[in-house]
Chains A and B, each alone.
Chain A
């Protein structure tokens, strides 16, 4: 599973990256996490409000850090 965390590097984006990694490990998924900080690449996904979460090239969430239960749903 390829996970992209989009954001220029503020607290929310870092928190999202940590939360996602924690939930993915908990669910036992084999994943690869990439943090995207370049604006052009972020916009290539169509994301305007960071932080953004992209799972296997599908945008799952923008603009907020989801709770662990919401993340579990998104990573299924």
Chain B
């Protein structure tokens, strides 16, 4: 009996047994929380996966494949214009950081071989914060003001953080670049305007398919809501034309899909989800079998789906268990949430920001957790503070950053993030709370 190896198995069995033995089933709060977890998952599956996540995966996949990364990296290199470098660093997270683990090597590279500490710090903060999928889901679930505030806050404050980092450490010896930066290949097979229109069409489909019902029944918002599926179809039609004309997809495949979608729309006028889903099934079929760029686009989108859906599912279950839904509590009583992060006090914003900086959020899980917190009484200001500090940092990531830039710079960076997030939260809470 080899105890040195077997002790781990024993501990696991023991932990499992104790968890089952002391399972609080039968206590109403716990039973309720379990049901809440499943209610929340069902709601997400019904409301958000088909209309919002699937188009978002295709958009994220397209960003990874169709936008030239070499062109962006040029602005972050050692010879780059410093002013431009900050601007590019703060928004390029959307384009360069499509794989979340690419952020740290890029940060290290920009710091040591590229434009320096300032733009590198801006990129480090903005990269995870400006994640395309996260912004889309935030806008969808927590409301467009929160989504926009998150994106704007991330970009704006990343520049400030970068500038402050560069200022605080301006007298540091710049270590000589060990090697020349290697650029990825950057042939752009189509002109920029075509790529832009293509993205605009996809974003149009996403935005209008998800256009929410406004409170008033008159006015511009309501008019758009009435017409939303016509507008979405218009974008979809334009999109289909682009796919054949510019991306070389086969005419008959796109047309069959278009006809199927139109047919289903006529057959099921009250259930737009059916033709919408059929459209995406068709898109998946003819892109996944393509041998060229469209195939790479599908593969990239599929990688996102594989990576994110299980994590999101888990995050939603945990959020439902701990926090419940609107009007239904989970395990955590809402008074605790309201006490800790309710209202818009400096303390509440700081607490949210600080907790967010150290807690680890798997991609996108911050959204259901935040939704639960807000429903339980978290103020809007602290919610934004958590969104700005949470995804950008976590204890594990701080350790890695420390290995690249050292303890002093890491500490300053973390303090700057927490302070910026707190201030943004207070401001946002004052304006929109």
On A, residues with C-beta under 8 Å from B are 7-12, 39-40, 42-50, 52, 59, 61-64
Contact = CB atoms under 8 A, between A and B. Distances in A.
A8 B104 contact: yes
A39 B110 contact: no
B101 interface: yes
A48 B73 contact: yes
Interface string B300-332: 000100010000000000000000000000000
Contacts of A39: 104-105, 108, 400, 403-404
Nearest to B403: A39
A43 to B, nearest CB: 6
A62 B99 CA distance: 13
Nearest to A9: B101
Contacts of A42: 105, 108
A47 to B, nearest CB: 5
Contacts of B182: 45-48, 52, 59, 62
Interface string B267-297: 0000000000000000000000000000000
B73 A43 contact: no
The 8 closest A-B pairs by CB, nearest first: A48-B109, A46-B179, A10-B101, A63-B184, A46-B182, A39-B108, A62-B184, A59-B182
A43 B108 contact: yes
Chain B CB count within 10 A is highest, among A47, A49, A50, for A49
Interface in B159-204: 178-184
Interface in B358-413: 400, 403-404
Given A43-B178, A44-B179, A49 B104 contact: no
6 contacts: A9-B101, A39-B400, A48-B108, A48-B182, A49-B69, A49-B102
Contacts of B73: 48-49
Contacts of B404: 39
Given A11-B307, A39-B104, A44 B99 contact: no
Contacts of B108: 39-40, 42-43, 48
B140 interface: no
A12 B101 CA distance: 10
B96 interface: yes
A12 B303 CA distance: 9
A41 to B, nearest CB: 10
A48 B181 CA distance: 7
Nearest to A42: B105
B69 A63 contact: yes
Chain A CB count within 10 A is highest, among B96, B180, B181, for B181
B178 A44 contact: yes
A47 B180 contact: no
B150 interface: no
B180 A46 contact: yes
Nearest to A41: B178
Interface in B100-124: 100-102, 104-106, 108-110, 112-114
